[in-house]
C-alpha cells in the first residue's frame, strides 16, 4: 500500500508511470532511500510492457527538488561518517540510469530545481520548464564542486554561459535554462495538469508520441537574461584562472559584471578553482559517465575539506551567510589543493565509465 506520507510516491495513469518526490516541506530534498526507491521503480518499469513513459514531478507548489539533503551531509562530514559517499554512489548511478532509460522519461522542472534535482531531471529525455522554474547548481556556495553530471551539461552551454552558472551558482529561469541546454520545452504551469493527462492517453505509445503531445502544450517562454549578457560573460570567463576571471569582471566597467565578481568572491575559493578545472575538463568528448566518476572523486574529497562543513553551516544551519573559508583567498589555493579533488577516494572509484553502473557498491 502506498501512503501519502512516503517520500516518493509511485503510481500509474494509463500507460504512464509517475514518480512524485514527496517532501514538500523540505523542498523535496533528496535522500538515499528516495534514490533507492526511484532506481528500483525504473528497474521494474523498464521491463513492464504496460509502461510506455515515466513522468517525474515534485509535490507542493515550490519546486521539483532543491537538491540533496545537505543537513544530513553536513552532519556526516562533521562526524567523519561514510553515509554521504554511499548516497552519492547510488545517486550518480541513478543519474546515469535516467539518461539511458529506454522509455520516454519526462521531467517537470516546475519551481526550484537545484543540485540533485538537476541530476534527476537534467539528463531526462524530455525536460520541461515553466515560468516558475529556477534551475541552478549552487555547490560553490557550500564548498562543493557541481556534481550529478551538472558540469557535463553546463560545459556544453553556448560560449562561457555554463562556466558562469557553475562558478556563481546563479539560477536560470525558463528561457536561460533552454538556452544553456538544461531543458527542452517551456510549458506554462497552468497547463501541466492537462499535459499529464494527455501523456497518459492510450494513443501515446512511444517517444514520437510524447514529443508531439508536449509540443501541443509548449509555448514561448518569457525573455531571459543570459542572451543579453553573453558578451561580457564570454569575454570574462574565457580567462585561464578564476583570479583572472574576477579581475576581468571587475575591470569591465559593467555593474552586472562587477556584481558577479562580488558573488564569486563570496564563494569557496577552493571550490571555485576545482570547479573551473572540472568545467574545462568535462566538455566534449567526455561522456556523462566519465563526468560522474570525476564528480564522485570531487565530492568525496570535499567531505574531508573544512569548507563543506563551514559552507553548509553558514548557509543552512546558522544561516549567517558569513562562511569562513579555508583558505580565505584564491591566491592561497594551491595546485595541490585542486588536485585533491581529482584523486581517487580512499574507498575506491565509482567506476561508471568502466561499465559497473548498475552494480551495488
The one catalytic residue in 58, 63, 116, 162 is: 116
Please indicate whether residue 68 is annotated as part of the active site: yes
C-alpha cell at 357: 553502473
Cα–Cα distance between 260 and 300 in angstroms, integer? 28
Q: Which helix (H) or strand (E) holds 293?
A: helix 288-303
**Residue 216 CB-density burial (10 A; 0-12 exposed, 13-18 middle, 19+ buried):** exposed
DSSP-assigned states of every residue in 195-216: HHHHHTSTT--SHHHHHHHHHH
DSSP E strand boundaries for the chain: 8-13, 16-21, 53-58, 63-65, 105-109, 112-114, 126-129, 134-136, 185-186
CA-based end-to-end distance of the chain: 29
Please indicate whether residue 159 is annotated as part of the active site: no
Instruction: Please say whether the beta carbons of 154 and 296 come within 8 A.
Output: no
Residues near 171 by Cβ (< 8 Å), separated by ≥ 6? Answer: 114, 134, 135, 136
Cα–Cα distance between 293 and 296 in angstroms, integer? 5
Please indicate whether residue 122 is annotated as part of the active site: no
The one catalytic residue in 90, 110, 139, 184 is: 139
SS3 content of the chain, % helix, strand, coil (to 5): 50, 10, 40
The one catalytic residue in 147, 184, 289, 310 is: 147
Please indicate whether residue 348 is annotated as part of the active site: no
The one catalytic residue in 58, 63, 67, 68 is: 68
Q: Which residues does the annotation mark as catalytic? A: 68, 116, 139, 147
Amino acid at each position: 500500500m502506498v501512503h501519502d506520507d512516503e517520500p516518493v510516491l509511485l503510481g500509474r495513469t494509463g500507460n504512464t508511470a509517475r514518480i512524485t518526490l514527496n517532501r514538500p516541506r523540505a523542498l523535496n530534498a533528496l535522500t538515499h532511500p528516495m534514490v533507492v526507491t526511484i532506481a528500483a521503480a525504473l528497474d521494474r518499469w523498464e521491463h513492464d510492457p504496460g509502461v510506455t513513459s515515466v513522468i517525474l514531478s515534485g509535490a507542493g507548489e515550490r519546486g521539483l527538488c532543491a537538491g540533496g539533503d545537505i543537513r544530513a551531509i553536513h552532519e556526516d562530514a562533521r562526524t567523519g561518517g561514510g553515509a554521504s559517499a554511499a548516497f552519492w554512489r547510488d545517486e550518480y548511478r541513478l543519474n546515469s540510469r535516467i539518461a539511458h532509460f529506454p522509455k520516454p522519461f519526462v521531467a517537470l522542472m516546475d519551481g526550484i530545481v537545484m543540485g540533485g534535482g538537476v541530476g534527476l531531471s537534467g539528463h531526462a529525455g524530455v525536460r520541461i520548464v515553466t515560468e516558475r522554474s529556477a534551475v541552478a547548481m549552487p555547490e560553490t556556495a557550500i564548498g562543493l564542486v557541481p556534481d550529478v553530471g551538472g558540469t557535463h551539461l553546463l560545459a556544453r552551454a553556448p560560449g562561457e554561459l555554463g562556466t558562469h552558472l557553475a562558478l556563481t551558482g546563479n539560477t536560470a529561469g525558463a528561457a536561460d535554462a533552454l538556452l544553456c541546454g538544461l531543458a527542452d520545452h517551456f510549458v506554462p504551469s497552468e497547463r501541466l495538469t492537462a499535459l499529464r493527462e494527455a501523456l497518459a492517453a492510450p494513443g501515446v505509445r512511444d517517444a514520437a508520441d510524447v514529443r508531439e503531445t508536449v509540443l501541443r502544450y509548449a509555448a514561448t517562454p518569457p525573455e531571459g537574461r543570459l542572451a543579453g549578457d553573453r558578451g561580457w560573460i564570454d569575454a570574462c570567463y574565457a580567462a585561464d584562472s578564476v583570479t583572472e576571471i574576477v579581475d576581468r569582471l571587475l575591470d569591465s566597467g559593467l555593474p552586472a559584471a562587477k556584481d558577479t565578481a562580488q558573488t564569486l568572491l563570496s564563494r569557496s575559493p577552493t571550490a571555485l578553482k576545482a570547479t573551473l578545472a572540472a568545467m574545462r575538463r568535462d566538455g566534449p568528448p567526455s561522456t556523462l559517465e566519465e563526468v560522474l566518476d570525476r564528480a564522485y572523486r570531487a565530492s568525496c574529497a570535499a567531505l574531508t575539506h573544512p569548507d563543506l562543513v563551514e559552507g553548509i553551516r553558514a548557509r543552512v544551519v546558522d544561516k549567517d551567510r558569513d562562511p569562513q573559508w579555508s583558505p580565505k583567498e584564491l591566491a592561497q589555493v594551491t595546485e595541490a589543493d585542486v588536485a585533491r579533488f581529482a584523486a581517487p577516494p580512499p574507498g575506491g572509484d565509482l567506476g561508471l565509465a568502466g561499465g559497473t553502473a548498475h552494480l551495488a557498491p
